[in-house]
Structure 1
Amino acid sequence: MNTVHQIAEKLTADQRAVVIALCGNAWKGGRPTPGILLMNAFELMHIDALKAADGGWIAFKAKPTELGAAVRAHLLSKENEHD
């Protein structure tokens, strides 16, 4: 059993839905949502903090890690098997 499969199997149904929804896209905006923070904690997404030159405004961006993209692809393939 590989790492991707092990991670996918340990996720709850709600967490699997978050992976499918979030790990397919990059994101940029205000404060990260709880889902993005969760994916960052699982090392499925990486969050960067961006600051303006004057230091007065902070934005965040997140993108899936290679592992996050692989777990998402695995979950999608499992969903397609059941259809």
Structure 2
Amino acid sequence: MVDRASYEGVTAIVGLKIVPGMEDTVCNESGSLAGISHTFKSFGSFDVIVFLTLDHSDVPALLKRLKKVEGVLDVHPLKFVP
């Protein structure tokens, strides 16, 4: 069971498609960006999942920054119910 309190303040979840073999690099680099609270390697539709904790109006700018991280092929914002 996931402790929802540990994800308090998450305003967006983003799935990333990554160049194979670059998952650790992308997790480390994207995790250092302001507004990102958690990064996870994953299996399935996305290679990395990123949790954002910033104002909704700032999300588009951070998505653009994520697209520039070396190894990121595509960025997919996901809908979720907090």
Same fold (TM over 0.5): no
Say which structure is richer in helix.
1
Which structure has the higher relative contact order (CA within 8 Å, separation 6+)?
Answer: 2
Say which structure is richer in strand.
2
> Which one has a bigger Cα radius of gyration?
1
Interval of TM-score (by shorter of Structure 1 and Structure 2)? under 0.3
TM-score of the superposition, structure 2-length normalised? 0.27
TM-score of the superposition, structure 1-length normalised? 0.26
